[in-house]
Amino acid sequence: MSEQEYWVRIREGDRCLGAGFLITRAYVVTALHCLRWRSPGNLRFDLQLPDGRSVLGRLREEIKDADLALIAVEDAETHGLPAASPTDWPRPEVGWRGTYCPPGEGTRLSGRVTHEPVDYDSAAGGVFKAVQLTVDQQLGTYDGYSGSPVDTKPGEQAGQPSHEGQAERPVVGILMEERLDRADSSKVSNVLIAASVLHAVHRFRQFSVGYLEHQVCVPEQRRDDRVPEQADEDRTAQNLTSTDLHLRQLQKWEEEGVLSQAEAAEERRWALRDLRRRLAGGAADD
């Protein structure tokens, strides 16, 4: 990936379903319509990387109204992938480039971003925050490019100096649709529509602060799960011990000024309420 390319080719067996964008090492974002020809019920795909390697991916979420899909890379931490691709918000009047080519196609797309992101009524019936692009290459259709990343060169705005020292080309969108020619609707125009990466980030719950906060706290929340067969007495003792430790910590924080008196009192009430709930058989730490 020395060329800083972040596309993936989504395959099911020998068939190429479309392209996707490796937004982090763990997730690929793509246009949901790329997956419409997958085998019924199949959720697993081969993800071919720019360096020729293939990794396995599993469909995690579909957002039908926005025509977006999220694929999780299996064992993501083992493939030596970059933790996150460079991304940015789309700036108008800059050049864009796509590094992806569909199988059998040698043309890489490029052109200009023409507008700030706008709400766009998708062919799938929903609305997404769209980046409108003109494309320089005249092809009969751009269908095979769906789901591939759109990157831009920072500082390419008219009249502006180039951004010194910025070698990366941040990805700003994911190609979604081609626009038909207004004069002849049987032809494709030179206008393409991409979903902004920002839009994708906002739509998938896996990218929400609430979900991420939960991920940060996983070990503590699963501590009880590790001993599902534990006897009730042991569980009660564990609950009392952890609450006792928490109450001691609250006292320490109050003494150190981390918590005010009122905050500490409120936290104590919550801790005791939580303990009562747990002793009564409720779920722990949720």
Partner 1 sequence: MTEGSAAPWQERIAIAQDAVRGKPEALAALQQVLDELPQQEGVLSTPASAGHFAHFLALLRDLDMSSAYENTLDVARQWVEARRVPGQHRCLVHNRLATVFGENGDRAAARMAMDAALQSAQSPLDEAYTFAHYGVLEAHHGDWPRAVAFARQAQHRTHGTDRADAWLEVRMRIASVLFLAACEDADHLAAREHAQSLKFLCQRQINRWGPQHPRALEALVTMASARHEIARIDGDLTSMDRLTDVLAVAAQRTSTELGARHPQAKSVRELLQRVHAATE
Query: Which residues are at the interface with partner 1 (CB under 8 A)?
Result: 23-27, 76-77, 80, 83-84, 86-89, 91-93, 116, 154-155, 157-164, 170, 196-198, 201, 206-210, 212-213, 215-219, 249, 252-253, 256-263
- C-alpha 49 chain-centroid distance: 17
Closest CB 259 distance from partner 1, rounded Å: 8
Closest CB 64 distance from partner 1, rounded Å: 22
Closest CB 124 distance from partner 1, rounded Å: 22
- CB contact set of 217 (below 8 Å; sequence gap of 6+): none
Nearer to partner 1, 12 or 116 (CB): 116
Q: Strand 118-121 relative to strand 95-97: parallel, antiparallel, unpaired?
A: unpaired
- CB contact set of 15 (below 8 Å; sequence gap of 6+): 37
Closest CB 149 distance from partner 1, rounded Å: 13
Closest CB 160 distance from partner 1, rounded Å: 6
Closest CB 212 distance from partner 1, rounded Å: 5
Nearer to partner 1, 38 or 112 (CB): 112
Q: How far apart are CA 32 and CA 6, in angstroms?
A: 18
Concatenated DSSP letters of 153-170: -TT-STT----TT-----
Q: For residue 23, which of 71, 91, 77 has the smallest C-alpha distance?
A: 71
Q: How far apart are CA 32 and CA 43, in angstroms?
A: 12
Nearer to partner 1, 123 or 217 (CB): 217
Nearer to partner 1, 101 or 284 (CB): 284
Q: For residue 115, which of 29, 200, 192 has the smallest C-alpha distance?
A: 192
Nearer to partner 1, 158 or 231 (CB): 158
Nearer to partner 1, 87 or 142 (CB): 87
Q: Where are the beta strands (DSSP E) in the chain?
A: 7-12, 15-24, 27-31, 44-48, 54-63, 68-73, 95-97, 110-113, 118-121, 127-135, 149-152, 171-180, 188-196
Nearer to partner 1, 164 or 184 (CB): 164
Closest CB 5 distance from partner 1, rounded Å: 17
